[in-house]
Each structure stands twice: as structure tokens, then as C-alpha cells.
Chains A and B, each alone.
Chain A
Amino acid sequence: MRKVKDILEILERDARTTPEQIAVMLDLPVDEVRQTIDQLERDKVLLKYKAVINWDKIGGEMVIALIEVKVSPQREVGFGAVAERIYRYPEARSVYLVSGTYDLSVQVVGKTMKDVADFVARKLAPIEGVQGTVTHFLLQRYKEDGDILNGEEEIERLPITP
């Protein structure tokens, strides 16, 4: 189990690490590393290899909003059916069921604020079971998924020390 976790942690840190490199880092045979990765992909533990981009830096036109969605759960299917109807839209980038004053947390991406507002008003709010929405526009991203976006300061170390 530790081996699997180690492989996943390495790939999470840098998805471009090759099986050969992982094999040296963990002192494992290359074939075992390859097979383990293949199995994890098949089991959908390893879903995707992704580059984390700070779009703000190249001025990509993108507006992100976090929407609180209140849902009246339906018989037999609970929140899941509503969640599915929402997440089928590509504009809905993340969908979570949460505890607290509302039920679903949805992250929506659009080109402009109007696009996002239109999506919420015309596609999301009318879904059966949706009681209400509150839209929060994302103004500044500081840290995402463990990565600090605007560069931590380079830590200064003396280049040579005994």
C-alpha cells in the first residue's frame, strides 16, 4: 500500500515523472511500476494527468463563480440526480455535496460575468429540484489544490555550508 501511495504522490507532484525515474526513486523494478500505474488507471484511481495553470498570468478571459445551490431532494434518488443534471454541463467544473445552509457547491466557468449569470439563470436554476441559488464571483485565486499560485518567494539558502 505504501508503494502505491508513493507512486501516486510522485505523480501528483509532477505528472511527467517517467516510470523509469519512479523506479529509481522507489527502488522498484520498472515493470512493477508500469503495471501498478496501468492498474491504477484502469481502476480509475488515477483519473488524469494534468498541468496546473495560472490563467490570470496570461490574461485568459475567464470568469469563475462559486454557486450555492439549495435542493429539495427527490424520492429514491436524493441529491444525486440533481447533481448529475448539473455536472453534465461542461460549464460546471466542480460539483460537491456539502453540509450546512445549502446542499450543492458548484464551480462554474464562463467567458464573462454575463455568461455565468445566464448559465445560472437559464440552465441551472430551472432544474427540477433546485430551490434557489446564490452566486459568488471569484475575485482572486491565492491557492488551489495545494499549489500557491502567485509564487512563493524563493527561499534564500547560503550556497555552501558545512
Chain B
Amino acid sequence: MSAIRFPSRAVQRPRRSVISDRVNSIPASGIRRFFDLLATIDGVISLGVGEPDFVTPWHIRESAIYSVERGQTMYTSNYGLIELRIELAKHLARLYGVEYDPRTELVITAGVSEALDIAIRAIVNPGDEIIIPDPTYVSYGPCVVMAGGVVVPVPTFVENDFKVSAEEIEKRINNRTKAILIGYPNNPTGAVMAREDLKGIADVAARHDLIVISDEIYDRLVYDTEHTCFASLPGMKERTILLGGFSKSYAMTGWRVGYAAAPAEILEAMLKIHQYVLMCASTSGQKAATEALRNGEESVQRMVREYNQRRRVMHRGLIDIGLSCFEPKGAFYAFPNIEVTGLSSDEFAERLLMEEKVAVVPGTAFGQRGSGHVRCCYATSMKNINEALVRMKRFVDRYVRR
């Protein structure tokens, strides 16, 4: 039988991108470019990290190793190991006085990153507006866009210690606004919000019936001050999605274990996404996190004391160099203003890297309001911090004199 031949009728289609429009619209990470540049240079002191320099305490590592040895390698419940959820509920109640039902109001996720993503996807409809401070963590905007939402940035100002103001938020609310997404203590600024500040936001959320997503991954890293859990504010638990994790407080970044806490209805919606997309967080990670909550408190306190010492040295050092920098009270970042050098934040970061081999992250990677600033992480040895400050001083002196 002869082959059937069809007349060639190539259909002219306009050239189109394989990649979805939505993903095309998200900017490439400003950090990636730097990463590639850094890879070409030796002997760099990096203040550009976003994770502790401590290794996960041994007793936590050991508990995971032991659990793997015993063959605990299967899926856990979608919600996460029940013993972990019970410890977590106790932990949140003890620290912040918030009561979450471990069976219906908690889910263990693959890092707080996943918790953030499913929280947004659970509540955002296409076109919904989400209010986000500027500057803030790199993922918030892109996650909202990927969920089909619209990002509404709220500028924050160094004059106000980079706290986000309730008035500025309220100005930007309209009938499409769905939620406010905040993360305090803040990456990149190191800012914290006191109870009174957060109450203002709570009032706005209540008045306009908004959800608040509160990313509290840095909750334990606060210095000379107390952390206020947003869900602990009067009337807020029912409209808050609380996000948290173990990465920063227990030095468990690579384990990918985090959590979300929310009223049952919202938690169920998040659970749906989580079960289809991830099934469950890493089993050995969850075992480790359980051990961390049970016996890791002393390690947390020790690490916080050390971070605090480094924070003071970094902050004072930056000021002595001649850069203006508000005093960060949380996380492990300082966010100095580098405009006195006459350089943009990108130029500053790039030249500092090439000329003095010190890596910092340009503030613009975190939002428009980050312009004129760089993020300096002090989660590194005192020796590195001191040496980095010496090199930065040389650099700043050169440029200020010009």
C-alpha cells in the first residue's frame, strides 16, 4: 500500500514563546548574576549569604541519622508527623501564647518557602491584589505573580526604621485587595515591628476584612527586644496565615522543613495544594525538626547571643566607615545606605567585589526602595566581619574622596 501523502499545508502560526507569559513576567533573581560573578574570584569574604554559618547542632543531626538507620524512609502524613505538630503547637503556645490545634491547624512544609507559596496560592484569585512592603524578601512578589495576583508595594523608610506603616497600607487598599503579606523580622533590612506597630496593621486588616500572611521565619533572631507573633494579636488568629520554620533558628536551612499555621478552613485549602504538589516534607527533616523543638532551645539561645555580638560589631563598624545605617534589631542583616560614595547599589556591590573581594547584595534585588543600600549579612565569623569592614573602609574612603 502506498504511503498516503497529504498536501503540505504548513499553517502559519505567529512565533510564540515556549515559556508562559506569567513566568516571563517575573524578573530573574538579581542575586543570580552576582553569584555567577563571584564564582570567578578567589579569596572573597562573603557578606552576601542568607543563612547561618553554624552547622545544625549535632543532637539534631544525630536524631535524623538514627531515624534513617532505622529505616524511617517512607512518606509521612500530608500534614506532617503528628509528634512534630504536637511539639510545634506546644512551642508556639509557650513562646507566643497562640493555640493551634495540631490536627487541623498546622501543616509541615518543605521549608517556609513552600508554606509561603501554598498560602498565597490558597487564597489568591486572578487579579487579587496583595500588599507587600518594599524592600522585602525576593520571593514574595514572584509568588504572588505566579498565583495570578497583583503585587501592590508599600514603600518603607529608614526614618521609620523600615517598619511598614498602617496608614501607607490603608492608602493602597481597594475592593480588589485580598491580603497583606509581611515578614518581620525582615530580610533584607533587619527591621522588626513592635506590638503597637503590628496592632495598627491588625486594625486595618480587620476593618477591611483582609487576610494577613505573616512570615516569621526569623522570629527567634531578635536582639534587645521581643518578637510579637502576629496571630497573637486580638482577633487576628482567625485571619492570619502564620509562616515559620527551623532554618534560621536551628541552622537547618538545607533540611527544607518549615510550617504554616492557619484557621482550619484556610489550612485545608493549603493542604490540598501541598498534597498534590509535594505529598509531605522530608521525613528525616521532620524527625530532625522534632528533636530540635524538644531539645534545641539551648542551642538557639547560644546562637542568638553570638549573632547579637556580631550584629553590634557590624553595625558599629559600618557607621565608623562613614555609611549611615539604622540599627537592625532582627534577623542577621544590616542594611547600610551607600549613597555617600556616589555609586548606585549595583555599582557599589560590583566594584566592592572586584576591588576588595567583599561580597554584599545590592538593595535593588529586594525592591525599588532598596536602591542606595546594600545588604550585609553578619552570619559569619567575627574574623571575617572584621576583615570585611577593613576592606570596606578602604573602598569607601577611595570613593568618598573622589
Task: Name A residues whose Cβ lies closer than 8 Å to a Cβ of B.
Answer: 6, 10, 14, 21, 24-27, 155, 157-162
Contacts and interface: CB of A to CB of B under 8 A. Distances in A.
B34 A24 contact: no
A83 B35 CA distance: 60
A27 B305 CA distance: 12
Given A162-B138, A162-B139, A6 B305 contact: yes
Given A160-B34, A160-B361, A155 B55 contact: yes
A102 B244 CA distance: 52
Interface in B18-52: 29, 31, 34-35, 38-39, 44, 46, 48-51
B73 interface: no
Given A158-B35, A160-B48, A24 B313 contact: yes
A94 B382 CA distance: 32
B312 interface: yes
Contacts of B137: 162
Contacts of B53: 155, 157
A24 B312 contact: yes
27 contacts: A10-B309, A14-B382, A24-B312, A24-B313, A25-B309, A25-B310, A25-B382, A26-B309, A27-B224, A155-B55, A157-B49, A157-B53, A158-B49, A159-B35, A159-B39, A159-B48, A159-B49, A160-B35, A160-B48, A160-B361, A161-B48, A161-B49, A162-B29, A162-B31, A162-B138, A162-B139, A162-B187
Interface of B: 29, 31, 34-35, 38-39, 44, 46, 48-51, 53, 55, 137-139, 187, 224, 305, 309-310, 312-313, 316, 359, 361, 365, 382
Given A6-B309, A160-B49, A162-B139, 12 more contacts: A10-B309, A14-B382, A25-B382, A27-B312, A157-B46, A158-B49, A160-B35, A160-B38, A161-B49, A161-B51, A162-B137, A162-B138
A24 B378 CA distance: 15
Contacts of A159: 35, 38-39, 44, 46, 48-49, 359
Contacts of B138: 162
B31 A161 contact: yes
Nearest to A9: B305
Contact of B50 (A10, A24, A162): A162
B33 to A, nearest CB: 10
A21 B48 CA distance: 24
Nearest to A10: B309
Contacts of A27: 224, 312
A161 B35 CA distance: 8
A141 B38 CA distance: 38
Nearest to A2: B305
B313 A160 contact: no
A53 B315 CA distance: 33
Which 7 A/B pairs are nearest by Cβ-Cβ distance? A25-B309, A160-B48, A159-B46, A161-B50, A162-B138, A160-B35, A159-B38
A137 B110 CA distance: 50
A160 B379 CA distance: 12
Among A21, A158, A160, the one with the most B-chain Cβ atoms within 10 Å of its Cβ is: A160
A162 to B, nearest CB: 5
B50 A25 contact: no
Contacts of B38: 159-160
Contacts of B309: 6, 10, 25-26
Contacts of B44: 159
A162 B48 CA distance: 8
Contact of A160 (B46, B305, B312): B46
Contacts of B361: 160
A157 B38 CA distance: 13
B161 to A, nearest CB: 18
A6 B34 CA distance: 37
Contacts of B359: 159-160
